[in-house]
Amino acid sequence: MQPLCQICCNPKRRLRFHTEQIAICQWCVTELSTTETSPARVLDERRLTVTSTLKEAAERELARLIKLRMPVPQLSIARLESATTYADALVRRDESLLQSMFRSMVDDTKRREQVAAVTARRRDELLAAHRDATATHQRQQQELEARISSAEAALRRVPEAVDQEIQRLVKEVKLVAPTKSKEIRLLRAFHIGLIDFERTQHARPEQSEYEEQKRRIRARDSFRCVCCLRGFAQGELHVHHVLPLSRYGTNSDPNLVTLCHPCHNKQHPDIQVTRSFPIKRRPPTLRFVAIDVETTGLSNDDSIIEIAAVRFVGGQAEEVFCSLIRTKRVISPQIERLTGISQAMISAAPHPETVMRDFVAFVSGHRLVFHNASFDMRFIGKYLEYYGHSLPDRILDTLPLARRKLPTLSSHRLANLVQHLGLPVRPSHRAQDDSLATGHLYLALREISSPRPKKKRKRTTVQSSKQSKAASAADGDA
């Protein structure tokens, strides 16, 4: 399954550059090279937009709620005083005409009592209605005040909400999901190191630092073009900025890729790089096993105490086999200080027959790479013959290879070569570390061209020169 572009994550777009640290399509490269917006501006605009939106909404809601505040309802004294008039009218309405005339002429006491009772009942009703209205108003105002407090709290929480929105945006940037948002794509480019926060223009680093960086990028890309995935000699590779420095690209490693001449020319159609000799291509998948052993000494009577093999595929360490080996020989204090392997460790180690069986199964079918193969194979061959295994016939030695390609070095020991080439490994007199260093050393030496011997010019003698001149004069006369 083809990996996705880390910027747009669009499965329909083919990757243009693909390394351990970056996967990007040409569409995103073009967009990032033409846009002038920076991640800082994107975050500032998003922050201002979210702040204004949330603040305006909170202020508008707060103003609306404040307008809903109402004063406490008051009971009018006039309504209480009108209760007597209301009661008198009600009593008169209930009486008959004759009763009314009789009472007005004879005795009005009973009527006055009825009016007083109705007046008192009317007053009680008005007071009860006022109490209910007051309680309802108080409850509504309490609810309103709670909503106002909530609106004020929301207004105070606007900065916190803005920070949460920015965090949500950052989480969306880290998600591997297709997006159409230019903001997300720009922030993803910043996240993987293609551009910096302010998108400032960068200058090339110092020459020595830049050369070291280019060696590191070639080694990271396994000395292969990341576009056509073919291996080339070191002189045929360019270290190319995915986003040019003139378009605010960074000098960080994710913004650098290894390209061959043809693929580099496609990126720079106005700068054509040519060679007078054909490009030396190498297979895209290089498979071999780097091996190293640690022994109890240097003589033929000594034994192996540790063996390691690292399988390399396509320029990368894929799998490791490492094991101590039991032996009857006593480990000297010098060997123990050098390797860190003690006698107790060897006593608990597996039997040599088991280790060699697993070792043969691990390395079978691969090319074996050693540093000073004569020393290592002297011990490995003795164990293989003793336990009935065949000797390997596909062996490469990095020691004569380094002497041929780096003749000016005073020492071709493994540690000196690793330090001279600036490889990302360090030998430690342990089989696994040394075999890993041997594998990386072999990959680096493959990319160094051997110095060509100077051709000796043929010296012509004086007599032969005179004879050639005479012959040419005779040809001219003829």
- Exposure of 78 by Cβ count < 10 A (0-12 exposed, 13-18 middle, 19+ buried)? exposed
Confidence at residue 373, expressed as pLDDT on a 0 to 100 scale: 93
Confidence at residue 474, expressed as pLDDT on a 0 to 100 scale: 40
pLDDT of residue 464 exceeding 70: no
Q: How confident is the model at residue 154 (pLDDT cuts 50, 70, 90)?
A: confident
47 belongs to a structural domain: no
Domain stops at, among 137, 156, 175: 156
Question: For residue 408, what are the CA distances in angstroms to 300, 308, 403, 405, 451?
Answer: 32, 30, 8, 9, 11
Which residues, 6+ apart, have CB-to-CB distance to 256 below 8 Å?
Answer: 213, 214, 217, 239, 240, 241, 242
298 belongs to a structural domain: yes
CATH of residue 299's domain is: 3.30.420.10
Q: What is the pLDDT of residues 280-296, one digit of tens each?
A: 444 445 789 999 999 99
Lowest-confidence segment of 108-122, 239-253, 390-404, 427-441 by average pLDDT: 108-122
Question: For residue 443, what are the CA distances in angstroms to 206, 218, 310?
Answer: 26, 11, 13
Strand partners, 259: 238
457 belongs to a structural domain: no
Domain stops at, among 156, 175, 201: 156
Confidence at residue 295, expressed as pLDDT on a 0 to 100 scale: 94
Confidence at residue 180, expressed as pLDDT on a 0 to 100 scale: 87
Structural contact between residues 227 and 263, judged by C-beta atoms closer than 8 angstroms? yes
Average pLDDT taken over every residue of the chain: 82
One domain for residues 296 and 437? yes
385 residue type, one letter: E
One domain for residues 293 and 433? yes
Tokens standing for 248? 């605010």
429 belongs to a structural domain: yes
Confidence at residue 354, expressed as pLDDT on a 0 to 100 scale: 94
Q: Count of CB atoms within 10 A of residue 312's CB?
A: 24
If we measure between CA atoms, which residue out of 337, 261, 237, 351 comes closest to residue 294?
A: 337
460 belongs to a structural domain: no
Distance between CA 59 and CA 359 in Å, rounded? 75
Lowest-confidence segment of 30-39, 236-245, 281-290, 444-453 by average pLDDT: 281-290
Which residues, 6+ apart, have CB-to-CB distance to 397 below 8 Å?
Answer: 369, 370, 371, 372, 373, 374
pLDDT of residue 475 exceeding 70: no
137 belongs to a structural domain: yes
Structural contact between residues 60 and 271, judged by C-beta atoms closer than 8 angstroms? no
In terms of average pLDDT, the best of 65-74, 259-268, 387-396, 433-442 is 433-442
Confidence at residue 403, expressed as pLDDT on a 0 to 100 scale: 92
398 belongs to a structural domain: yes
3-class SS of residue 64 = helix
- Looking at residue 224, the DSSP 8-state letter turns out to be B
Number of independent structural domains in the chain: 2
pLDDT of residue 126 exceeding 50: yes
Question: For residue 80, what are the CA distances in angstroms to 122, 128, 134, 216?
Answer: 8, 12, 17, 98
Q: How confident is the model at residue 307 (pLDDT cuts 50, 70, 90)?
A: very high
125 belongs to a structural domain: yes
CB-side neighbour CA atoms (13 Å) of 265: 7
Lookup result for tokens 């290879």? 401
Distance between CA 170 and CA 165 in Å, rounded? 9
pLDDT of residue 473 exceeding 50: no
Question: To the nearest whole percent, how much of the chain has pLDDT over 70?
Answer: 86
Q: What is the pLDDT of residues 419-452, one digit of tens each?
A: 999 888 888 889 999 999 999 999 999 888 777 6
pLDDT of residue 104 exceeding 70: no
Question: To the nearest whole percent, how much of the chain has pLDDT over 90?
Answer: 24
User: H or E stretch including 117?
Assistant: helix 109-156
If we measure between CA atoms, which residue out of 239, 237, 318 comes closest to residue 281?
A: 237
Please report the DSSP string for 165-217 in residue order. Answer: HHHHHHHHHHS------HHHHHHHHHHTTSS-SS--------HHHHHHHHHHH
Mean pLDDT over residues 345-352, rounded? 92
Residue 304: domain span = 287-446
Structural contact between residues 436 and 310, judged by C-beta atoms closer than 8 angstroms? yes
Q: How confident is the model at residue 90 (pLDDT cuts 50, 70, 90)?
A: confident
Domain stops at, among 113, 130, 156: 156
Confidence at residue 458, expressed as pLDDT on a 0 to 100 scale: 52
Question: For residue 212, what are the CA distances in angstroms to 205, 226, 421?
Answer: 11, 19, 10
Helix, strand, coil % over all residues of the chain, rounded to 5: 55, 10, 35
Q: What is the pLDDT of residues 179-212, one digit of tens each?
A: 888 888 999 999 888 888 888 877 877 888 888 8
Confidence at residue 441, expressed as pLDDT on a 0 to 100 scale: 93
Confidence at residue 321, expressed as pLDDT on a 0 to 100 scale: 95
